[in-house]
Amino acid sequence: MKNIANKNNSNTDAIVNNASASSYFSIPVLFCALYLLVHFIPDLGSNDPIGPQWLYLSLLNIITAVYIFYSINQYKKYIPTIISSGYFIFFIGYLLWITASLSYAINYTETIVCLSRIFTTFFAIFNLLVIVNENKEVVKKVLTLLLMILLFESLQVLLNFISNSENYDLDNLILSLYGNHGNKNILSASIAIKIPFALYFFYTSKGTLKKWLSILLLFIAITSLFILNTRSTFLSLGVYFVLLLIYIIANKKAVKQKLVNILFILLILTSSVLTSNLLIANVKNNTNAQAGSYNNVLERVKSIGFDETGSSGRIKLWKHAFDYFKNHKIIGCGYGNWKLASIPYDKIDLSTFTMSYHVHNDFIEILAETGIVGFVFYAFIFVMLLFYVLKSLFKSRNEHTKTVSFFVLLGLIGYLIDALLNFPSERTIIQTLLIFVTVIILQISIFEGSTIASKISNLKGRLFYILFMLIIIPLIYVNYQVNQSLKYQKIIFSEFGVNPTIPTSEVADIPLNIPNLSSTAFPIKQALARYYIRDKDYKTALTLINNSEKDNPFLFYGDFLKTYIYGTQGNQDSSYYYAKKAFYERPKTLGYFQNIMVIATQKKDTLEMDKAFKEFRKNRNEAIAWVQYIQSLYYINGKPTNLIKVLCDSAIYYYPKDTALNKIQTQLK
């Protein structure tokens, strides 16, 4: 009797699940829609939209966890199956290893910030998989939601491009097309990863209307991709269509149907290329601007290459990260810390306070940050996904499951291509797409054909989710602090490089401890110190600078600020010391060069002036360096010596059209 009762309960659960899945207003679909809503969250005053987006996801995770906690009787049976899967075993191993990098990270606070994002991703995957569980109808509705978002994003690109075609040159117009994604490359990746689901709609559509709607959607999406000009997404498209052609040919459908599908695909691609080329040519004709970085799809494809130019400098970044790994094989620079470890490699390449924030390859970046163990864990997270989806594709007895497996495989490939060429692990919207790709793969693989039986009690299930919530709450705090910081960063860095004008009271409340680096890895305390220096509150400024020395130990901007503070206070020896330190550590930074030249001139230290000039010129032979050096020598001598005249003639030889040099030459005559 007990077995019969259990069986009846099981059947009842299945009926309830199927009934709820049949409605777009079911709980599983609602939660999926809420996670996908991240696509529509703007920056809300932050310097980067990922601030409010990561905060939103972490808040949604706690809401989802609370719902599962109170509905544990319905969901407890899925928890053991999920947590014991190979995917989650490797993911948990990866989380433990990268958390351990807190002990050796260059900046452990930055590790905490980045950990909050990967943990948020983990809990989103787990929660959604528990809620979606066996309900295949939910997956169908999720695919529909993804297609609606794809249509919105693509139309937004096309309409904005067309409506502004007379207002901007091509480069600036394309760069302005980013929506809520931060930049146009992220929007491109978002569209590219969703295209396989539009292909699924095209491939499975039965009626004429649905088929033509799918063709129209693909045309709009692919045309928008060609307009966005992101070459990595062109590679994704190429892989999609090659694999799709193979899939169509290998499928058991009638030859006529195969030919029709192939012809439609060729029609979509051809019309998208022609349309995007016409739209781009129209902008060029309207603006008459000089040739820039962007062009029509055919020209952009030609520019792809395996050299520094064709890879947009990626090869150099990969070499730097591999070199770092060779010297740090077991433990790297700490999770999320490549932006700091990269600076010594770039110190003679970068002329400003910028740095290579990412390797433009998530796998190589993890290798440099966490060593070989972290890399293996990270790589096997995706190996397991590939194993599961390929197993479903080739082993499933359900033809529809095989079809879904193929197209979700394309979505995973789209993400992996982006991960090999960019840095999607940081971008909230791209991670949300990975979350749904992962949930679909795991749903059709670990649940299909397996008997799901309750192996834990309600109490154990609730204790499990209490543990989850105890971890999620600190993640919310970190993401909240980051979002608050980004709001202030938008103010502070809007006037970086010029004398600050905003009252200190409007920026003084910026969080200083979490995070302690800006979105561009700049020490926040040092950026804030500029306001106190302006207010002549040098004590507070020095305290901020000294407290931030370890936040980014490779930028030396704090030493640059100390030069001014000590110089203003009459401590010329300390001022000179920090000027030298900053310049010779970053010999290509113009501000540091001008700083040391001014103080050396005041001290009449011609040997140091000559040394600094040669060092700067070796890395950055520009007219402004000659102007600074000649003017300094003139100031010391008080008259135009033969050396000054010779230097001026040499400078004019290199830069005959420079206004400042020609003015100096006129004054020397």
Residues 395-410: pLDDT tens digits? Answer: 888 888 999 999 999 9
Place of tokens 């892989």: 239
Is the Cβ–Cβ distance between 157 and 228 less than 8 Å?
Answer: yes
Q: How many domains does the chain have?
A: 2
Q: What is the mean pLDDT of residues 109-120?
A: 98
pLDDT of 303 strictly over 70: yes
pLDDT of 495 strictly over 60: yes
Decide if 122 is inside a domain: no
Q: How many angstroms separate the CA atoms of 267 and 258, rounded?
A: 14
Chain centroid to CA 5 = 52
Decide if 94 is inside a domain: no
pLDDT of 264 strictly over 90: yes
Is the Cβ–Cβ distance between 276 and 221 less than 8 Å?
Answer: no
Decide if 634 is inside a domain: yes
pLDDT of 605 strictly over 80: yes
Q: What percent of the chain has pLDDT over 70?
A: 92
pLDDT in tens, 500-522: 999 999 999 999 999 999 988 99
Q: What is the mean pLDDT of residues 478-507?
A: 93
Is the Cβ–Cβ distance between 433 and 194 less than 8 Å?
Answer: yes
Place of tokens 């879904």: 404
What integer pLDDT is reported at residue 201 of this predicted model?
95
Of the listed ranges 290-299, 372-381, 545-554, 591-600, the least confidently predicted one is 290-299
pLDDT in tens, 642-662: 888 888 888 888 888 888 888
What integer pLDDT is reported at residue 453 of this predicted model?
62
Decide if 27 is inside a domain: yes
pLDDT of 353 strictly over 80: no
What integer pLDDT is reported at residue 481 of this predicted model?
98
pLDDT of 263 strictly over 60: yes
What integer pLDDT is reported at residue 299 of this predicted model?
84
Q: What is the mean pLDDT of residues 556-583?
A: 93
- Tell me how crowded residue 34 is: count the other CB atoms within 10 A of its CB: 14
Decide if 657 is inside a domain: yes
Q: 632: domain CATH number? A: 1.25.40.10
| Higher per-residue pLDDT: 268 or 295 | 268
pLDDT of 193 strictly over 50: yes
Q: How many angstroms separate the CA atoms of 544 and 536, rounded?
A: 14
Mean pLDDT of the chain: 89
pLDDT of 16 strictly over 80: no
> Which structural domain, as residue segments, surrounds residue 7?
1-33
pLDDT band for position 348 (cuts 50, 70, 90): low
What integer pLDDT is reported at residue 254 of this predicted model?
77
Q: What percent of the chain has pLDDT over 90?
A: 68
Decide if 570 is inside a domain: yes
| Residue 515, preceding peptide bond in cis (omega within 30° of 0) | yes
Q: What is the mean pLDDT of residues 457-483?
A: 95
Decide if 498 is inside a domain: yes
Q: What is the mean pLDDT of residues 196-203?
A: 96
What integer pLDDT is reported at residue 14 of this predicted model?
41
Instruction: List Cβ neighbours of 206 (8 Å cut-off, separation of 6 or more).
Output: none
What integer pLDDT is reported at residue 448 of this predicted model?
72
pLDDT in tens, 59-90: 999 999 999 999 999 999 999 999 999 999 99
Decide if 305 is inside a domain: no
What integer pLDDT is reported at residue 103 of this predicted model?
96
